[in-house]
Structure 1
Amino acid sequence: MRPRVLRGLAAAAALLATTACSAGPEGGAAAPAPTGPGASAFPVRLADCTGRETTFTAPAARIVTSNSSALEMLLRLGAGDRVIGTGFPPGPGTLPADLAARGAQVPVLGRTGIAKEKLLGSGADTYLDTFGAMDLMGGAADAPTEAEFTAAGIRHVFLLSTACAATAKGPRTDLAEVEQDIRRLGALTGTGPKAAELVTAMETGTRAVTTALRDLPAERRPGYFFFDFDAGTQQPIALCNRQVGNAAITLAGARNVFADCDADFRPVGWEDVVARNPDWIQLAVRDRGSEAANAEAYGAAERFLREFPATKGLAAVQQGHLLRIGSEATTIAGTRNADTVRRIAAAIHPDLVAGGN
């Protein structure tokens, strides 16, 4: 699995996996990050799923991000000037247009994972780790130990929505961990009020959808397949129930046809996709940086499904139920996940949910 998935993740600045070593709803009893008027109060204590606490007595000032997920959250919070480096730098179109120019100014410490020596010698006071236990640092042996982080004066903080998928205790069916990550980053950067604003907007958007779908019977939840076209077509990669994309699909009133897969992503066979015969397929291509290039990529993904012997007879293909929604807004944890919920819901339940664009 990993070589194929890694190639795909690198191309999108790492399509992210699921639930972190978390102190959230599934991860254990950590004190929640402060929110509201007192959200910038210090000290701030954040815990991961092992119970390890990280304390901030003042706002983080020199932050390194492992990839574009944490970077995008920090840019949204107005804390992008604190980021002194990143791994898996955002490619063209990975960041929304309003953040792309600022994101491009962040020094690149590694085109994929950041080498241990470079990370420890970066001068960072905080490392935001999207990957955790996943083997995306260029090899688990190359990741610094907690003792090495401490010796270098770097506080090691996981994104709850993405790292340590193996420790998740259940499927991801809502955006609670994403919202908690935004609050946590707001707390450690002293931008709590902005974090609360972003989370409120996400909650408002998803609540509108779930309210509209509250009486939707199970039989009206269509089967849905996330087709990761850029991960390769010889062997499809299933989006599983520990990935944040599963939450977006579920909240939108669909049924992920690979929701029985207890992982983030997993290689499957086309015969598995055919056996589950999805009602809808998301043509999840990665942003090419322009509308024309994106349209070409979506067209290529659609042509493949219509011409490939194993898929051309699928219900979704025959009925034209092919959604053009990019990978990044679905699988990279952030505020755009809420927008994806509405876009999917408006497409598959137009009688209940108004326009998703």
Structure 2
Amino acid sequence: MRHDLKKTLVTAGAFFIFFWFGFLDNLKGPTIPFILKDLGIGYSLMGNVLGLQYGGFFLATLAAGVLIFRFGLKKVFLGLSMLLLAGIGCAAAAPGYAPLVLGFFLTGLGLGAVEVAGNSTIVLLHPERKGKLLNLLGFFHGVGSMIVPIYAGALLSAHYSWRFTFALSLAPLTLFLIYLLAVKFPEYRREAAENIFALLKSAFTAEMIWHYLAICFYVAAEIGLAAWIIEYNYKIKGQPLFYSSLSLTLYFGLITGGRLLGSFVVDRLGHLRVLLAAALGAVVCLTLGLYGPAAVAFFLPATGFCFSIIFPTLTTSFSNICQAGIEKYLGFLFTFAGIGGMIGPWLIGLCGGWLQLGTSMSLLILYALIMLGSIAVLLGKAGNDLRVSRRSGA
């Protein structure tokens, strides 16, 4: 099998599993009320289930990069496929609380590994087009996220059980596992292994830390807005519930569409310049949407368009500074992203309990400003390095 064909087939597989990443990660939302009723558990116990799922996700993001480095992409893809099959199957068949916890934890492990393996596939196999293809990867995740409420809503409204809704996803996951077994993965350059202390030291250079900070606060803002936009528009802005819910759909739609459009421009315009413009646009949209008059309320969900290219393009920029053994370091980047995803919405809710949601939503602007500042530092450093290089060449 030719090398180019191998790369194409593996990349197609990465796009496919990223669609299911978005799908499975958001399948729990529509099914939670039915799970609670069926198993007779309360919100606190369900909260523990979701917390353990995210715990599994974090463990996988930390480990997957090193596992890819040591064992290769194919073995990690096979492993995450089996984790997802076991997790979804266990959850769908769970007769009680403990198997449900196990199922969600295994699913979290699988999804965390998908995050790292999918991005590593693009960075390792397509270094010359990684900006475009990472944005396309995010696009497929967004499509899966948008489709799942329609899918789950249709089945649950037709009186199919939540178990059946979960179990149907086992079919495409099984097909993906068979596909992986049939496809030959191309060879790519792998560096010599280093011990854990050397790895930790090399993973925290100044440039890498600014990338960690930027992606952490980006995800804090993205997930924070997604978690609270409906409640904010409904309770604080006084919008009808239908239009408040529509704002979330518009938000995710603009993120998805923006990534598709961004895939055609980010490599041409320069990664850090595009990131700075997107971050600045996000600050403006958040400020107008939160504190502007009712006539400009649409700027709040429109923030999704500015957010759209930031995650994949930050990943691209990060891979530019640590090309050797990049698969080892992506796990660190995505772990900081996960920290932002946990802290961002939690802190808004916590401050909303002390003060008011209308006040605590201003944290979104703070998150975006920290992200903007981090990107500005990276752009400034890149400019300084270029000037030094030119003087040296002269």
Structure 2 length normalisation: TM-score?
A: 0.28
Instruction: Name the structure, 1 or 2, with higher relative contact order (CA <8 Å, separation 6+).
Output: 2
Please state which structure has a larger fraction of its residues in strand. 1
Structure 1 length normalisation: TM-score?
A: 0.30
Please state which structure has a larger fraction of its residues in helix. 2
